[in-house]
Structure 1
């Protein structure tokens, strides 16, 4: 009668089985993650757009700022507490500003504001005006018509809907 050695009797795992199993699990995980990301992106934009064209902070204009896309800066400096602009490929535009005021007075003297989107070095038609509080708060939530390609996009805010002037713009 022979002595059984636990080391010899134990079966070594087949390395090919481990590799195939690991590859299958990794592939399944990657597939699920890709599906989840695709579903999330479709749900976020309703499946209608290809994503963001621009997502940027908004800064108040200063007297030394240059003309941009044919618009000149306002006649006073402007500061902002917080501002963001998001332009989607399907033309949805949302601009939110808080505390966009003239620093010497600490208020916003304008009742209305609009936005002008610029693509390909040219300003597009401005949006309709929205209320602009004395605290400098406003939300523009609209849709604009974009060209087939929108290179180097920017968003500028127009005082009282004056499309020739900007008081804030995307960038730093």
Structure 2
């Protein structure tokens, strides 16, 4: 049975800073709409993001730990680490291809910039750092959504008697 609790996509704020005249930053604020992922899809995305941080040296170090005779990883931990090592890193462009479905951005004159995948690619090429700002918008929204869960998980319930 499928129960619909939320829309298939969500809006998140995006802040883009570019260098303006006299070296002063120009701040462009807008919103981006991202696909809402299923749990399995988000975990796969998280794995690909983690793969970005695995340099060849780090991979070699992890592989050495896994292959060491005194390795104390459980079978589950070993499977997770192996999956991380096998994951393909994801680029910002691939990330946005998979998740970005719309935006509300305006140019300097205040005119709305219509979203299309082609426009996104063109603007990300023309405006250095926009691609990263769009990715950050998604990541910050995810962090904000998960933060209360982490606080609840890591906090003890207050005493009902105050003692």
TM-score by length of 1: 0.27
- Greater fraction of residues in strand: 1
- Greater fraction of residues in helix: 2
TM-score by length of 2: 0.28
Query: Highest Rg: 1 or 2?
Result: 1
